[in-house]
Amino acid sequence: MPRPRTIAIGDIHGCLAPLAALLGFLKPVPEDHLIFLGDYIDRGPSSKGVIQRLIELRGVLDVSCIMGNHEEMMLNARTLADTRRDWLRNGGDAALRSYGGARGTLADVPPRHWQFLENDLVAYVETDTHLFVHASVHPDAPMHEQPPYMLRWERFDHVTRRHKSRKTLVCGHTPQPEGRPGNKGFAVCLDTHAFRGGPLSCLVLPGNRIVQASPEGEISEAPLSDF
């Protein structure tokens, strides 16, 4: 029987087609652990479809969904009117169109999707060997003391040294050029600009392999050491 895998998937941003292609290729089973790194919504065409797919996956597989800054912005837009304009300018308009068409509003988002955003997301995932977050970590702070800004907003460019735990950091948030994951040896970034025509990327452990799905659903694989 194959060894259980940990599969970390980078920023989806409403790009349902490459997500479906990745899942179809990887064929996760209940023994695997799927970790989604945040930014499921905004900018791409299918925020509603992506969230619905994640909800369905959580019902049948071992799935952890980390909160990204775009989920944080959407939640704030629901309750803080002065933040709504910023969210809409940063891709929230596309999210609303996926729910209600050209005149979509926050009222078109179904209660189960709000429940997912409010209750089903985690700040980070820590394993024996890796730290999974949306954006970054403070290298000298234990995970339970990480500031929310660091977890959801800091850039991969600013990661300069390994976390005190000596575990490898896996994150998204900072788009990487030319569709290539960022690899600093002690930190990996899986945001490869899916919403702008780049691939959707994931890291498969054990084995340290990168699997990518193009917008058209074409799959490619390579060792992480190639990046």
pLDDT of residue 1: 59
The predicted model gives 55-75 an average pLDDT of 98
What is the pLDDT, as a whole number, of residue 118? 98
Residue 2 clears pLDDT 80, i.e. is over it: no
Average pLDDT of 104-117? 98
Average pLDDT over residues 218-224: 98
Give the torsion through C-alpha atoms of 191, 74, 125, 53, to 10 deg.
Answer: -80
pLDDT confidence of 24, banded at 50, 70, 90?
very high
β-strands 200-205, 6-9 pairing: antiparallel
What is the rounded average pLDDT for all residues in the chain? Answer: 97
pLDDT given for residue 3 in this prediction = 79
- Please tell me the distance from the alpha carbon of residue 71 to that of residue 73, in angstroms, as a whole number: 5
Residue 81: predicted pLDDT: 87
